[in-house]
Structure 1
Amino acid sequence: MSKPLQTRYGVDMRLFLLTALTMCAFAANSILNRLAIDSGASDPAGFAVVRVLSGVVVLTCLVYLRAGHLPLLNRRRVAGAGSLSLYMIGFSIAYLTLDAGLGALILFGVVQITMFAVTSITGNAPSGRQVAGAVIAVTGLSYVLWPTDAVQVDPVGAALMGVAGIGWAIYSLVGRSEPDALAGTAANFVVALPVTALALLTTGGDWHMTASGYLLAALAGGVTSGLGYALWYRVLPQLAATTAAVVQLSVPIIAIVGGVVFLGEVASLRLMLGAALVLGGIALAVLRLKPRLGV
C-alpha cells in the first residue's frame, strides 16, 4: 500500500493546502487593490485605511464570538502591530510611483532576503538546497516581473517598498511565536489602525472612495487580509522560517494569473516560463524527498 504523502515526501498535505490558501489570499489583496485603484474607485490611502478598519471589525467580532480577548497590552504588539503598520504605509505610498510588477519584485525580494538574513544570524542557516531553490524562484520572479522597456524607477518609491518588505518579513517572523493566531492578528490590526491612518492621511491628497471602492477595500481587509493573516499566523509555527520566506514568492505569480482570469490581462510565454521557475524553486526548497520504503 502506498505510503502517506507526509511520510514519502516530508510534507503534511493539510499544512500544504492551508499555506496555499494563505498565498491565494495574499494574491487576492493585490488583485482587489489593483482593481480598486485602476478603476478609479478608490485612492491608495483611502483603500489602505478602510482595509485595516475592516480587518479590525471582522477579526474583533470573531475573537469575541469565540469568547476570547484581545491581547492589546502585550509586548508582541510592538513588533507585530509596528511591522504591520510599516508594511501597510510603505506599500500604499510606494505604489503611487512604482510600476506594480517592479514593486512586487522589490517587496518579495526584500522579504526573502530579510527572513533568510535573520534566520542565519540566529543560528538557523538555510541549507544549500533551500538557497538553490530560493535563487531559482527569485530568478523566475525577476524574469516575469522585470520591465521589458526602459523605465525610470523612482528611488523614494523603491525605498518605501523596501521598507514595506522589511515590515512584512518582521511580521512573519514574529507570527511564529504568536500563541493565538486569531486574537494576535486582531490585536495587531487594532493597534496598527491609528498609526496607519495617521501616517497615510497626513501624506496629502483628497479622500476619494466610491461605493465599489469601499466594498473592495472591505473585502480586502475583512477577508483576504484579516482572515488571511490569521491563517498565516496559524501555519507559521509549522513552517521553517526559510520555507516561509520562499513560499511567499508564489504570491506575485498567483496575482498575475488572477489578473489574467479576473481582470482580463493577457497570458504570455514569459509568464508561463517564469511561473514554472518560481514553482520549481519553491518545490526544491520546501520538499524533503525521502526514499520510497514500500508500496
Structure 2
Amino acid sequence: MKAILYTMIALITFAANSLFCRIALTEKYIDPWNFTIIRLSSAAFCLAIIMIIRRYFLKHRNTTCHQTMDSRHLQDKGSWLSSLCLFIYALCFSLAYVELDTGTGALILFSAVQLTMIVWGIYNKERLSNLQWLAFIVAGIGFIYLTLPSATMPSSWGAMLMFISGVAWGIYSIRGKACLSPLHATGFNFLRSLAAVPILLLLGFSELKNISVDGVLLACASGAIASAMGYSIWYMAMLQLKSTNAAVVQLCVPILAALAGMIFLSEPLTVRFMVASAVILGAVLVFLLNKNQINLKV
C-alpha cells in the first residue's frame, strides 16, 4: 500500500514540475534563466534539510551492520559530471517550455530519457530480442513524428532543447545506477549545480525587474516540491518496486502532464499528441516488459 501511495505522489509531482514551469513562463511571471536559478536553489535547500534529517536518523541506528551500511551511503556525494548533467537538464527544460505545451514537452522529455537509456544499453552490448528492436524502432519513429514541424509543433528549437534536456537526464539516471544512495547523491549534485548560478544571473540580469511573486513561488514549487520532495518520495517508492515496474509506471507522467495542461492552461489535446503518445509509450512499454522476460530467462 505504501509503494502505491508513494508512487502516485511521486508521479503527480513529476507531472506538476512541467505544469509549474509552463505556467510561470507562458504567463510571463518569470524568465527561464531566473526560473532555473530559483528552482535549483530551492531544490538544493530542501534536499539539504532532508539530508540533515536523514543523516541524524541513520547515525542513531543501533546495529553495527546498519551503521556500516549507513556510513557507506553517507559517503555517496555524487560528482561534478552528474551535476553538469543536472544543470543542463534543468536549464534546457526551462528554455524549452517557453514554446512547448505541457504535455508535448513532457512527452519529448520522457522519450529522450528512455531512448538515451536504451541506446546506452545497446552500446554496452545488452542483449535485445527481435521484439525489443522493433519496439525501439517504432518508438524512434513515433518521436520523429511528434517533433516534425507542424501547426501544433511550430518550434523545432523548443523540441531540440527539450530533447537535450531529456538526454542529460538520461545520462544522469545512468550514472545514478551506480550510487549507493541516489537521494544523497542527488542532494549533493543539486548543491554543486549552484556553481553555475552566477552565469545564469548574468544571462537573466536584465529580466530581474520583470519577475513577479507568482513567478518566484512557481519556481520554488518546482524546485522544493516537484523536484526535491518528488525525488525523495520516488526513491522511497523504488525501494518497494522492481526496477522494471518503476520504469513502466513513469509512462503515466506525460499523460498526467497533458491532462494538467488541459485543466489549468486550456491547452488542446491534439491528434498528433495522442497518436505520438500511443506509439511511443506503447513501444517503450513493450520494450520494458520484454526486457523483464529476458532477464527472468537468463
TM-score, normalised relative to structure 1: 0.73
* Corresponding residue SS for 2:203: coil
Partner of 2:79: 77
Q: What is the 5 A alignment of 1:167-182?
A: 167-182=168-183
Partner of 2:288: 286
Cα deviation, residue 135, structure 1: 4.3
Match 2:41 to one of 50, 53, 69: 53
State yes or no: 1:89 paired with 2:91: yes
Native 8 Å contact 1:27 1:252 kept in 2 = yes
CA distance in 1, matches of 2:116, 2:131: 18
Cα deviation, residue 50, structure 1: 1.0
Cα deviation, residue 268, structure 1: 4.9
Partner of 1:8: none
State yes or no: 1:202 paired with 2:206: no
Where does structure 2 lack aligned partners over 5 or more consecutive residues? 60-70, 294-298
Give the 3 Å change call, closer, same or farther, for CA 172–150 of structure 1 in structure 2: closer
Native 8 Å contact 2:142 2:280 kept in 1 = yes
CA deviations over 1:109-166 (Å, ceiling 9, x no partner): 43333211211222324433334444445555665665532876465x6654443232
Native 8 Å contact 1:115 1:169 kept in 2 = yes
Partner of 2:216: 214
CA distance in 2, matches of 1:46, 1:264: 25
CA deviations over 1:172-205 (Å, ceiling 9, x no partner): 112222222332221111111222x233223244
State yes or no: 1:28 paired with 2:32: no
Of residues 251-260 and 108-117 in structure 1, the stretch that sits farther from structure 2 once superposed is 108-117
Letter in 2 for 1:186: G
Partner of 1:266: 268
Of residues 81-90 and 228-237 in structure 1, the stretch that sits farther from structure 2 once superposed is 228-237
State yes or no: 1:239 paired with 2:243: yes
Native 8 Å contact 1:94 1:158 kept in 2 = yes
Letter in 1 for 2:170: A
CA distance in 2, matches of 1:136, 1:14: 35
Partner of 1:191: 192
CA distance in 1, matches of 2:83, 2:216: 23
**RMSD, aligned α-carbons:** 3.8
Cα deviation, residue 106, structure 1: 5.0
Cα deviation, residue 81, structure 1: 1.5
CA deviations over 1:47-102 (Å, ceiling 9, x no partner): 11111111112111112122169989867322321210121223333445x44476
* Corresponding residue SS for 1:179: coil
Q: Percent identity?
A: 33
CA distance in 2, matches of 1:93, 1:266: 21
Partner of 2:67: none
TM-score, normalised relative to structure 2: 0.73
Moved over 6 A (4+): 13-17, 69-73
State yes or no: 1:230 paired with 2:232: yes
* Corresponding residue SS for 2:268: coil
CA distance in 1, matches of 2:96, 2:13: 21
Give the 3 Å change call, closer, same or farther, for CA 223–91 of structure 1 in structure 2: same
Match 2:28 to one of 37, 40, 46: 40
Letter in 1 for 2:243: L
Matched residue pairs, number?
A: 273
Native 8 Å contact 1:247 1:282 kept in 2 = no
CA deviations over 1:31-62 (Å, ceiling 9, x no partner): 11111111222111111111111111211111
Partner of 2:121: 119
Native 8 Å contact 1:89 1:199 kept in 2 = no
Native 8 Å contact 1:134 1:282 kept in 2 = yes
* Corresponding residue SS for 2:46: helix
Cα deviation, residue 29, structure 1: 0.8
Letter in 1 for 2:42: S
Cα deviation, residue 252, structure 1: 3.0
